[in-house]
Structure 1
């Protein structure tokens, strides 16, 4: 960057320049913008708004640089409206696009942070996003996942988790939410009175497959969610314990 600035200053000996100091700092700003664009292009390549904003900003700064050449500065003075748009209007548009692009980037990062990488379901962090005021909370746990991991390997266990999450999505209706909150633990926020239908749908979807699960559920108000979740967990654990002891449900 210093080399470029020196080169620009050297060039100024052959071309009449309006302000040497402006040329120096505006050249630095231009190449800083270009540098930022190139080091971040792989991250923002799918964010066209942000890319366009940076390119417009670079174009605006390039215009500032070339209008330090006296003959172009004189042209700019004779075309005040065009000059003002190219200097100030394009700058404002580029900042607006960059703001939109950065906002979209942050929203995407937040969304990805809220998703479980293996299943694509919401993770525990998103339990605070429940919008229903009253609902059924269902606590699911896959049976004997640890034994499967130990005997057949974690790759097989992961496939089982993925298949179970698919069944949860199939059973889900519009407005209901599914979360993976632990290795083999899932929470569903369902419409009031839908819990047993949800469980029955899971049984139908997984019929004939070597996947069994335990569950518990409670109907609750949002303000009592933590207490209801604990009760659903306790009911699920009671079912799991009964299965482990060979009981019938």
Structure 2
């Protein structure tokens, strides 16, 4: 299957290039051409560029500078092909400034736009790699961007999610995770940040003095919904983040262990 994925595009592009080359050779029989070799290579370059645009245009369309840059490059390649026709070549010789702009200026502008677009695309991809796919929350990779210098670190863990997955299916379990993440996001204020750090584990960096209040607000938002959770809170700063993360995790685990007998009776 992987081989087919690699071969098929190559065969397709090669076929398109062959067809374009034959068309250009046929055209050269009726219209004077400045250089058949240049026409052949420039036509093939145009075919490759148009193929790349066709398979990527949906992905690059949101990045306008990249999108317009590729279109400008294609326009430049079309101009190069046309100027191999003697009639257009003679016209370009009579308009040297315009010809230089269309042949060289457009290339520079298109590459500048493409460079800006690729920069934005890479930045977006890097940011997406720091987001949890299911919930849209940040993941562990975003820990280096915590905004608060001092904060209360809250480590949350959902109770009984395994049982939900086993009895009702993982789709229902995912809905529980998403609903809980929404409650956390809706509770966060200002520079407070919410992270999903595991299957059913979440971390919140809350403003100093707001840890318990944050937990109470989450409980209020989930009132009437069967989404129990345990948590641990540690007051810390950016320098001692890892230590606080470990301590809050242990505090959360102690709460979870203390609640198990009660849950078993129920």
Normalised TM-score (structure 1): 0.92
In the alignment, does 2:70 pair up with 1:54?
yes
For 2:195 and 2:24, how far apart are their aligned partners in 1? 58
Q: What is the rounded CA distance, in whole Å, between the counterparts of 1:24 and 1:208 in structure 2?
A: 71
2:173 aligned to 152, 157, 162, which one?
Answer: 157
Q: Which moved more, 1:126-135 or 1:197-206?
A: 126-135
Q: How many angstroms apart in 2 are the aligned matches of 1:136 and 1:84?
A: 62
- 1:1-249 matches, within 5 Å, as 1-246=17-262
2:117 and 2:125 map into 1 onto residues whose CA distance is 12
Distance in 2, Cα, partners of 1:37 & 1:27: 15
Q: Secondary structure at the match of 2:34?
A: coil
**TM-aligned CA deviation for residue 12 of structure 1:** 2.0
The alignment partner of 1:150 has SS state of helix
Instruction: Measure the CA separation in 2 of the matches of 1:9 and 1:59.
Output: 22
Deviates more, 1:45-54 or 1:173-182: 45-54
Tell me, in whole angstroms, the C-alpha distance in 1 between the residues paired with 2:23 and 2:238.
66
Name the stretch that deviates more: 64-73 or 47-56: 47-56
Unaligned runs of 5+ in 1: none
Question: Unaligned 5+ residue runs, structure 2?
Answer: 1-16
Give the match's secondary structure for 2:133. coil
Q: Give, in whole Å, the separation in 2 of the partners of 1:151 and 1:6.
A: 64
Q: CA deviation at 1:28?
A: 1.5
In the TM superposition, residue 183 of structure 1 has moved relative to its aligned partner by 1.3
Offset at residue 48 of structure 1 (A): 3.4
Q: Deviations over 1:170-221 (max 9, x none)?
A: 1100111101111111000122222122112112212232222111111112
- Separation (CA, whole Å) in 1 of partners of 2:237 and 2:37: 66
Q: Is the 8 A contact 2:135 2:181 kept in 1?
A: yes
Report the number of matched residues: 247
SS at match of 1:237: helix
After superposition, give the CA deviation of every residue in 1:94-132 in whole Å (9 maximum; x if it has no partner).
112222222232233223322222211112222232243
Matched residue SS, 1:174? coil
The TM-score normalised by the length of structure 2 is 0.86
Q: Which moved more, 1:177-186 or 1:5-14?
A: 5-14
